Structure 1
Amino acid sequence: MTRFVVVPQWQGSPAARAMLLAAGAEAIAGDLPRAKTVVVDVPVEAGEAQDTGIRRFSALARVHEAVADALATLGVDASHPAGREPAIVVGGDCGVAVPAIAHAAAAHEGLAVVWFDAHADLHSPATSPSGAFAGMALRAVIDDLPSPSPAATPGAPPGVVPPGRVFVAGARELDDAEADLLDGGADTPRHLAPADLDDPTALVDAVVASGATALYVHVDLDVLDPAVISGVSLPVPFGLTLEQLVAAVAALRERLPLVGASIAGFAPATPAAAVDDLGTILRVVGALA
C-alpha cells in the first residue's frame, strides 16, 4: 500500500502568502490513511540564505534532511520494484520533491522524472528573480546547485537525474533563462505544453525512448487550469484539465514502474476553500497511488 510523507514546507515558495502552503498540506493529510502517513516537522522560522543565493536555505536544509530520513525508514516491500512501498510526498512547495527524487535516484540508475507544473522551476540562484528554492527545484535535480537536499550518492550532486530523462509537462509560463534550458537537444529536459498532452502517447513514448527503467512523477497542482482548482498560489490560465492529468499519469504507469511521486502547491485561502478543492486533489492522489 502507498505510504505518504506530508511536508508542510512553505519556505521555498516565492508567494507573498507562502504559509498557506502549510495549511494546504495539512488539509490533504486529513484525508489520507493515518496509519500510512508520516508528517515531517517543519521549522516555524523562515531561515537564512547562508550565502547560497537561496532564500531561507537553512530552514530548507533541515526539512530536506528530515524528508530523506523519513523516506529511508519506510517499510520494505519485496514485491515492489524499489524494494520498498512506493511513497508519495505531499507538500508544501515544490522543493519537497528534491529530496524524494534524490532518494529514488539512489535506488534506480535509470530513473526518469516527469514534472507536471505550470512553471519549469529551472532557475539557478544566478537567474532567479526571487531567490526562492521552489523555482529552482527541478534545476537542483539536473544540476549541481547549492541544494539543501542530501546527495543521492556520496560526492554526487543532490538528486542527480540526467537532463535527457527529465520531462516538463504542462508548463506554460517560462522565463527566458528556463526556456534556454529546454529542448536544446538530447542532453536537455524535454518540454511538453498542455496541448501536447491531449493524447498522452507523445509523453509516454518520449519517456520510454529516453531509456528510463523507473519513473518519478511530480505534480504541482498549478499545472491544472484555474477553472479546475482555485487553491494555488500562482495560477496560470490555459492549463490541463483533471482528465488530461489523470490520463497522462495512468498512461505513464502502464509503461514504467512508479517508484516515487510528489504533490505540491495547494494553498487554499480558507478552510472552506480547501474543502472545495480536495475532491480534485484526491483524484490526483488516486492516480498516483
Structure 2
Amino acid sequence: MARFVIVPQWQGSGSDRAMRLATGAQRIAEDLPRAATEVVDVPLEAGSALETGVVRASSVLRVREALAATLGDSPVPVVTIGGDCGVELAAVEHAAIQHPGLAIVWFDAHADLNVPEESPSGAFHGMVLRSILGDGPRAFASRAVVPATRTVLAGTRSMDPGEEAFAAASGITVLPGDDASSDAVLSALRSTGATSVYVHVDLDVLDPSAVTAVNHPEPFGLSVPALLDTVRAIRAEFDLAGAGITEFAPDDSPTADAVAIGDDLTTILRLIGALRP
C-alpha cells in the first residue's frame, strides 16, 4: 500500500483536548513519504450542529466531502490518518464502493455505535460506525452501507447501553478485550464470507500502558504485539480494501513527555508497516 491521506480533523471529538488530534495527524505525516501522502484541509472553525444533534456537524460534513473528493474513484487502497474517528465515514464509503461485499474489523476501545438521541456527548466520533452501518444521524447517511453482519468489533470494552442493545440486535460480532485474539478475529471475518477487509484502528484499542497519547484511554486493552500479529494475519488472508488509524492526540506543550510521544509514534509506524503489502 502506497497512498496515505492525512485528515487532521478534531471537530468530531468529544474531548476537551480535541485539538491535539490535529497535532497527532500532523506528527504522523512527518514520518510518511511525501510523494505518497496527501493532506485534506480541515476548517479552522468548530462549526455548528445544524439541528442534527451532532456537535460541530457543519465542519465534520465539510471534511467528509473534502476527503471523498481527495479519494475520488481510485481503486488503490488508502491508509487514512486521523484526526478523530469521524474521518472513517468517507474512507469506508470509498472502500465499500471499490470493494462491494467487504467486511470491517473495527479495533476500538469504544463501539462508536451511538445515535444523537442516546449519545452522552453528541460527538460524531462516537456515532461513525452506526452511520457506516446505515443507521446513524440522517445528515451523515452512508453512501455505501456495510451490513452489521459483516462487521467485527475487536478489543471493544466500553459501550453505552444503547450501543450494547444495537450490537446485540444487529448481528455485529463483538470481541471484547482479550477475546480479540488473532484466531478469533480471523474466524469472525471468515464467517462474513468477505474476501476483502477494511481495517480501522483507534489507538485507544491498545492498553494505556502501550500507548499514552489518546484522549479516551480504557484499561485492559490489547498489547502492541497482539495487535500487530492480528493485522498481519488479516493481511495474509484477505485483500485489504483500506485502513484507518485515528485518535493520536499528543501533547505539544513544552512539558510534554517527548520520549513517550516518540514511543507512540514508533508503534504507529510499526502498525503502518504491518498494513503494507
TM-score (norm 1): 0.90
Uncovered stretches (5+) of structure 1, i.e. residues with no partner: 75-83, 152-156
Tell me what 2:25 maps to: 25
Deviations 1:84-121 (A, max 9, x none): 32210000000011101011111222110100000000
Provide the residue aligned with 2:151 in structure 1.
166
CA–CA distance in structure 2, aligned partners of residues 215 and 73 of structure 1: 18
Give the Å deviation of 1:148: 5.7
Is it true that 1:285 corresponds to 2:266 in the alignment?
Answer: no
Residue 210 of structure 2 corresponds to residue 228 of structure 1: yes
- Structure 1 residue ranges, 4+ long, deviating more than 2 angstroms after superposition: 143-149, 270-276
Task: Letter of the 1:160 partner, please give it.
Answer: V
What is aligned with 2:15?
15
Query: 5+ unaligned residues in a row in structure 2: which ranges?
Result: none
1:127 aligns to 2:118 (yes or no):
yes
Alignment of 1:90-239 (within 5 A): 90-146=81-137, 157-184=142-169, 187-198=170-181, 200-239=182-221
Q: How does 1:231-250 map to 2 (within 5 A)?
A: 231-250=213-232
Is the contact between residue 98 and residue 159 of structure 1 (CA under 8 Å) also seen in structure 2? no
Counterpart residue type for residue 114 of structure 1: V
Aligned: 1:56 with 2:56: yes
Matched to 2:39, the amino acid is: V
How high is the sequence identity, in percent, across the aligned residues? Answer: 51
DSSP 3-state at the match of 1:180: helix
| Distance of aligned partners of 1:73 and 1:211 in 2 relative to their CA distance in 1, 3 Å threshold | closer
For 1:263-286, what per-residue CA distance to the aligned partner results, in whole angstroms no more than 9, with x for missing partners? 001001127253231111111111
Q: CA deviation at 1:137?
A: 0.8
CA contact (8 A) 1:27 1:274 kept: no
Verify the 8 A CA contact 1:118 1:220 in the aligned structure 2. Answer: yes
Match of 1:181, SS state, is helix
Structure 1 contact 60–148 (Cα < 8 Å) conserved: no
| Between 20-29 and 262-271, the greater mean CA deviation after superposition | 262-271
1:209 deviates by 1.2
Residue identity in the other structure for 2:191: A
Change (3 A) 1:265 1:147: farther
Alpha-carbon distance in 1 for matches of 2:98, 2:34: 27
On the 8 A contact 2:6/2:40 being kept in 1, the answer is: yes
| Contact 2:77–2:95, Cα closer than 8 Å, also in 1 | no
User: How many residue pairs end up in the alignment?
Assistant: 271
How far, CA to CA, are the matches of 2:180 and 2:48 in structure 1? 39
**Distance in 2 (alpha carbons) for counterparts of 1:120 and 1:228:** 20
Which one has the bigger helix percentage? 2
When the two chains are superposed, the root-mean-square deviation of aligned CA atoms in Å is: 1.5
Does the aligned pair in 2 maintain the 1:140–1:158 contact within 8 Å? Answer: no
| TM-score normalised to structure 2 length | 0.94
Following the alignment from structure 2 to structure 1, what is the Cα–Cα distance between the partners of residues 179 and 228?
15
Deviation at 1:182, TM superposition (A): 2.0
Structure 1 residues 73 and 31 mapped into 2: Cα distance closer, same or farther (>3 Å)?
Answer: farther
- Can you list the C-alpha shifts for 1:227-263, whole angstroms capped at 9, x where unaligned? 0010000111110000111111111122210010000
CA distance in 1, matches of 2:138, 2:247: 20
1:254 paired residue number? 236
Please tell me the residue identity of whatever aligns with 1:283: R
Change (3 A) 1:169 1:30: same
When residues 247 and 238 of structure 1 are mapped into structure 2, their CA distance, relative to the original with a 3 A threshold, is same
Match of 1:276 among 231, 247, 263: 263
CA 1:254 to 1:148, structure 2 compared with 1: closer, same or farther past 3 Å? farther
